Structure 1
Amino acid sequence: MSEESNAVEKQFSIQKIYAKDMSFETPNSPKVFIEKWEPSVEFNLGTNVQPLENAMYEITLMVTITVKNGNTTAYLAEVNQAGIFLLEGFSDAEMGPMIGSFCPNILFPYAREAISDLVIKGGFPQMLLAPVNFDALYAQHLQQAQQAPGTDTIN
């Protein structure tokens, strides 16, 4: 019997995709609606990984958008988009990119849509988030981790 026949076959599947948490705040309404609209946008992105049983992982993509009009906060939108993924038979070297790039890339369109919906329902112009290169972010995270050992979150 060869060594290959003893190896576990690689399996990837999406078990569930769901909104874990959402919030939308307009701390300066209605004043913000009557001022000249010249927004500036701050975009923050992060992930969280929770191992579950039977080779399943909950991966949460956290997206926060803060929009200011001048020095005044117009709105703050936060979406934690989560998924449960089956990741079986992958080596340690393969698991990092799967968890840090591949799965967040699957979750991002859902988070982008949720942010857009929240912003529109809040009475503001549509917020269309640009695509994110999760491969590049993961590579940057690895480079930073090598320079500063002890960091294990992807931001």
Structure 2
Amino acid sequence: MSEQDNAPTFNIQRMYLKDASLEQPNSPQILLEQQAPEVDIALAVAAAALAEGIVEVTVTGTVTAKIGDKTLFLCEARQAGIFEVRNIPDEQMNGIVSVVCPQMIFPYLRANISDLTVRAGFPPVLLNEVNFQAMYESQAQAQGEAPAENA
């Protein structure tokens, strides 16, 4: 093996929309309501090894808009990326798949959710930027783990 074979490698193989859905269970009646909806946004990150040195990272965004107790719409999208990650120290891998990869995927998720809500006839839902480092550290702390340095 040459030194190049042992060099740290991080490459994006592919970005893709894995799943998207939009439901309007109370349409068309709820569209006549004049009050502004309450909007709830939830994000989740998941990772799965596909092969040696190849990982799929998925960021899921769920947007629920309600007027009172009735749902105006429910929009969910799962944006994924396949990454080649080789020769990275184990203590840095969690940070890469929990912070670096989601940061690269998030703009695509944000655009897809906005586009989906606009195509459904609603104003665009613009997801605020997310601090995936803080999210990772919070989850690690909740699980009693120490986050990797310089993740």
The TM-score, its normalising length taken from structure 2, stands at 0.90
Letter in structure 2 aligned against 1:102: V
The whole-number CA distance in structure 1 between the counterparts of 2:96 and 2:4 is 23
Q: Which moved more, 1:22-31 or 1:32-41?
A: 32-41
Q: CA deviation at 1:8?
A: 2.1
1:21 and 2:19 aligned: yes
Equivalent-residue separation in structure 1 for 2:43 and 2:112 (angstroms): 14
The runs of 5 or more residues in structure 1 that have no matched partner are 148-155
**Alignment match of 1:38 (pick from 36, 39, 50):** 36
Q: Write the distance in 2 (CA, Å) between the matches of 1:6 and 1:77.
A: 45
Deviation at 1:37, TM superposition (A): 3.2
- Counterparts of 1:101-120 in structure 2 under 5 Å? 101-120=99-118
Give the alignment's TM-score, normalised by structure 1. 0.88
CA contact (8 A) 1:42 1:66 kept: yes
- Is 1:136 aligned to 2:134, yes or no? yes
**How many angstroms apart in 1 are the aligned matches of 2:101 and 2:43?**
14
Question: For residue 8 of structure 1, what is the aligned residue in structure 2?
Answer: 6
The number of residues matched between the two structures is 143
Task: Please tell me whether the aligned partners of residues 38 and 70 of structure 1 are also in contact (alpha carbons under 8 angstroms).
Answer: no
Structure 1 CA distance, aligned partners of 2:131 and 2:144? 20
CA RMSD of aligned residues (A): 1.5
> Which whole-Å deviations, capped at 9, do the CAs of 1:15-40 have from their partners, x for residues lacking one?
00000000000011111211113111
Q: Unpaired segments of 5 or more residues in structure 2?
A: 146-151
Give the deviation of 1:92 after TM superposition.
1.1
Whole-Å separation in 2 of the counterparts to 1:8 and 1:109: 31
Structure 1 range deviating more: 38-47 or 128-137: 38-47
How far apart are residue 54 of structure 1 and its match?
A: 3.4
